[in-house]
Amino acid sequence: MTVHFIGAGPGAPDLLTLRAQRLIAAAPVCLYAGALVPGEILDHAPAGARIVDTQHLQLDEIVAEVVAAHAAGHDVARLHSGDLSIYSAAAEQMRRLDELGIPWDVTPGVPAFAAAAAALRCELTIPEVAQTVILTRFGKRASMIPAGEDLASLAAHGTTLVVHLGTQAIEEIVQAVAPHYGEHCPAAVVARASWPDELVLRGTLSTIAGLVRDAGVTRTATILVGPALGARGFRDSHLYSKTRDR
């Protein structure tokens, strides 16, 4: 018996990996993260599978489902939206399973920030403009941000900044990062990236908060800031340069 932690992708059901589909189809138990995992992905589960929405369950209740499956010898497909490497709340589940001696593995998925970049039709790293992407979140309504990881400190790098879980505080975010990027720096918000109702808002740090308010975006969105979003006339990458092997 194995618990398969699976990144179910940002929303579009056809962004599920082939490995994830295979594991879901073979698992008698499927635990999924509420409204963030579309029904089409759950359709891959075998007939008669136990399917449990965990969005309103506490950690102990989720672990109890896994323990019951372990006792029955049933594999578990544990679906999280996006990719499990960031903001998945999977680490505490994995720690519990280690304590209980229950085996588990991880299948990566398409992360929300990648789907947002695809919606914007842009590369987040541009030669001689930005070669680093900072992924962070806004800590107003969740666990505290560690020292040195506040938005102002991260924005001081001036590279591509991706902020998760922050549209409800878009004004505060803009206020924190604008002194480092400037009010004319490109900024964007992508809500429900890859879903049928995906919404893309483009502007600058001086306009993006107003666009978010006018659109009524309050959750399930990614904020992106940095010169790479509006880069034009940049130097070609060395990757395909004629001089690469010289």
Helices (H), the chain: 18-26, 39-42, 59-72, 91-100, 112-120, 151-155, 170-181, 208-215
Pick the CATH number of 112-230 from 3.30.420.40, 3.90.45.10, 3.40.50.300, 3.30.950.10: 3.30.950.10
Its pTM stands at 0.91
The residue with tokens 């480092």 is 180
Rounded Cα–Cα distance for residues 192 and 190 (Å): 7
Task: State the DSSP string of 96-119.
Answer: HHHHHT--EEEE----HHHHHHHH
Domain range list for the chain: 3-107, 112-230
Residue 162 has pLDDT above 80, yes or no: yes
Least trusted range by pLDDT, from 130-134, 223-227, 228-232: 228-232
How does pLDDT run across 6-47, given as a tens digit for each residue?
999 999 999 999 999 999 999 999 999 888 899 999 999 999
What is the overall mean pLDDT for the chain?
94
Structure-model confidence comparison of residues 241 and 212, the more confident one: 212
Residue 242 has pLDDT above 80, yes or no: no
CATH architecture of the domain 3-107 equals: 3-Layer(aba) Sandwich (3.40)
* pLDDT category of residue 159 using cuts at 50, 70 and 90: very high
Structure tokens at 57: 């369950």
Structure-model confidence comparison of residues 78 and 149, the more confident one: 78
Please name the helix (run of DSSP H) or strand (run of DSSP E) that holds residue 133, with its range, or none.
strand 133-137
Are the C-beta atoms of 8 and 44 separated by less than 8 Å?
no
Helices (H), 36-129: 39-42, 59-72, 91-100, 112-120
* Same fold for the pair 3-107 and 112-230: no
Rounded Cα–Cα distance for residues 61 and 169 (Å): 31
Cβ burial, residue 139 (10 Å; 0-12/13-18/19+): middle
Q: Which residues contact 201 (CB under 8 A, 6 or more apart)?
A: 188, 189, 190, 191, 208, 211, 212, 215, 217
Name the 3-class secondary structure at 153: helix
Rounded Cα–Cα distance for residues 62 and 64 (Å): 5
